[in-house]
């Protein structure tokens, strides 16, 4: 095992967890998590941040009822109830950490 610091200035984790057996709280994936991830990934590429900012799908972050959830790491910034209208704010926040 090799232990090291993250190679990214900001890692954007987008929950896309599906809770198929819970129709009352189906998870972030059922609320558009995958679509949000794809749009964030395209925006990161368009801004030339590849290699500095990484966008990844994640499983449950624990606050499904408040989702979709997006986490900026290692900054510890958490966004809940994210819609496509919120992506500019998320990208602006991530951009604060890109030099």
Looking at residue 18, its pLDDT comes to 85
Residues 43-87 have pLDDT tens digits of 999 999 999 999 999 998 888 889 899 999 999 999 999 999 999
Domain that holds residue 61: 10-95
Structurally, how many domains does the chain consist of? 1
Residues 2-48 have pLDDT tens digits of 999 999 999 999 999 888 777 777 788 888 899 999 999 999 999 99
Count CB neighbours of 33 within 10 A.
23
Looking at residue 65, its pLDDT comes to 85
Looking at residue 43, its pLDDT comes to 98
HSE toward the beta carbon, residue 22, CA cutoff 13 A:
11
For residue 32, what are the CA distances in angstroms to 27, 28, 55, 71? 9, 6, 15, 15
CATH of the domain at 49: 3.40.30.10
| Any domain includes 71 | yes
| Any domain includes 3 | no
Looking at residue 69, its pLDDT comes to 96
């Amino acid at each position: 095992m090799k232990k090291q610091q993250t190679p990214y200035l900001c890692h954007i984790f987008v929950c896309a967890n599906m809770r198929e057996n819970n129709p009352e709280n189906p998870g972030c994936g059922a609320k558009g998590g995958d679509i949000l991830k794809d749009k964030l990934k395209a925006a990161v590429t368009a801004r030339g941040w590849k290699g500095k900012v990484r966008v990844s799908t994640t499983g449950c972050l624990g606050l499904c009822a408040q989702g979709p959830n997006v986490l900026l790491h290692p900054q510890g910034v958490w966004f809940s109830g994210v819609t496509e209208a919120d992506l500019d704010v998320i990208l602006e926040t991530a951009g604060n950490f890109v030099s």
